[in-house]
């Protein structure tokens, strides 16, 4: 007597992706529209604030070629958003660090002049030294805000592209 074979077997393909923690929900929503199911989320060893996510999907999913193309497009858009978000603070931080280092150099000069017994030149160098410690914070905030205002419309365009791509993908499944 022959046993009935189980025809409910589903072969899965698996994918692991690492993204910034702030992009986790967008990534899960986007990949769900491509037929992926979230299996597990863990803190990544690849960097601070990164999340490793594991997905699975039926190997025999319809329109797999087109879904893979849309998936590559989504990955590129998400990476671009992460780069744009990071670029908001890069220039601001660099300028603030440089001004802070210059302020520290003035302060070091002031200390050396004071130790050499030159009080008046020491005070003259201490003033830009203190300014070099106060101004970086103000510069950082100003530059970051300006860059944020410049980049946010571009980021919003990328989010719109992601949503359109997800809509295309969901119609293919």
Q: What is the pLDDT of residues 10-57, one digit of tens each?
A: 788 899 888 887 888 998 999 999 989 999 888 867 667 788 889 998
CA dist 112 → 59, 99, 105, 115 (Å): 71, 20, 11, 5
For residue 47, the model assigns a pLDDT of 65
Mean pLDDT over 125-154 rounds to 96
| CA separation for the pair 129, 101 (Å, rounded) | 9
| CA separation for the pair 42, 31 (Å, rounded) | 17
The backbone region for 167, taken as left when phi is positive above 0, alpha when psi lies in -120 to 50, beta otherwise, is: alpha
pLDDT, tens digit, 9 for 90 and up, residues 113-139 = 999 999 999 999 999 999 999 999 999
Across the beta sheet with 50-58, the strand order is 12-20, 50-58, 37-43
Does residue 88 register a pLDDT over 50? yes
Domain ranges (residues) in the chain: 7-61, 64-166
Q: What percent of the chain has pLDDT over 70?
A: 94
For residue 48, the model assigns a pLDDT of 76
For residue 128, the model assigns a pLDDT of 96
HSE-up of residue 91 (Cα within 13 Å, Cβ side): 14
| CA separation for the pair 107, 112 (Å, rounded) | 9
Does residue 6 register a pLDDT over 60? no
What is the pTM assigned to this prediction? 0.77
| CA separation for the pair 141, 90 (Å, rounded) | 12
Does residue 64 register a pLDDT over 90? no
């Amino acid at each position: 007597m022959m046993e009935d074979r189980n025809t409910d077997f589903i072969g899965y393909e698996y994918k692991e992706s690492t993204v910034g923690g702030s992009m986790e929900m967008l990534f899960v929503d986007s990949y769900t529209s491509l037929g992926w199911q979230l299996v597990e989320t863990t803190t990544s060893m690849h960097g601070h604030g990164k999340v490793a996510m594991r997905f699975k999907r039926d190997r025999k999913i319809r329109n797999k070629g087109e879904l893979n193309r849309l998936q590559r497009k989504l990955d590129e858009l998400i990476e671009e958003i992460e780069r744009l978000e990071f670029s908001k603070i890069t220039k601001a931080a660099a300028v603030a660090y440089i001004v802070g280092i210059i302020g520290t150099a003035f302060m070091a000069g002031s200390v050396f002049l004071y130790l050499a017994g030159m009080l008046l030149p020491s005070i003259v160098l201490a003033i830009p030294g203190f300014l070099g410690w106060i101004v970086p914070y103000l510069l950082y905030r100003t530059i970051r805000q300006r860059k944020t205002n410049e980049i946010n419309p571009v980021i919003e365009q990328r989010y719109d592209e992601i949503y359109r791509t997800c809509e295309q993908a969901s119609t293919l499944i």
